Amino acid sequence: MTRGVRAVLAVYIGVFVWGTLVHLVDLTGGGHSSYALDAPAVVRAFFVALVVLDPLVAVLLWRRRPAGVVAAGLVMGADLAANSWVLGPDAAALWAPGLFCAFIAVTAVPLYQRLAGPVPAAAPGAPPAVPSGRSGRRAG
């Protein structure tokens, strides 16, 4: 694994560990009512669920699982959307999650490809991976 891939993984993992700590502090300080915002229940439940989702993503990435990259994008996309709902699109507090979402958008595909490894070649005599032009439907 290259130094660049390790650096990108370190950023991802560091941010998700930081997010875990922030959400734990929020919940220990005010319990589930710390997110008693003027927002739909699903948004408040999502903020509470981040106490589990953030460390799950960090562990997947620590173990170098490609699913961790997908989970990182999904969790951060949902987190940015939920925070935008609560804080409004012009909130200054959105710069950090927005910047991290941009970082994920730029690095996710190459990171996923590096973690997934090369696609294995088909075994001799195996059927082709792509159909040879026949769709199985009759013309007419």
Residue 64 CA to its chain's centroid (Å): 14
pLDDT digits (tens, 9 = 90+) for 119-135: 776 677 766 666 555 55
Half-sphere CA count of 34, side-chain side, radius 13 A: 14
Looking at residue 73, its pLDDT comes to 98
DSSP code of residue 63: T
Q: What's the confidence (pLDDT) of residue 72?
A: 98
Q: What is the pLDDT of residue 122?
A: 67
User: How close are the terminal C-alpha atoms of the chain, in Å?
Assistant: 54
pLDDT band, very low/low/confident/very high, at 106 (cuts 50, 70, 90): very high
Find all residues with CB under 8 Å of 83, minimum gap 6, and list them: 91, 93, 94, 97
Global confidence as pTM: 0.79
Read off the pLDDT of residues 16-47 as tens digits, 9 standing for 90 and up: 999 999 989 888 887 666 666 677 888 888 98
44-101: per-residue pLDDT in tens?
Answer: 889 889 999 999 999 999 999 999 999 999 999 999 999 888 888 777 889 999 999 9
Owner of token pair 């739909």: 40
Q: What integer pLDDT is reported at residue 129 of this predicted model?
A: 62
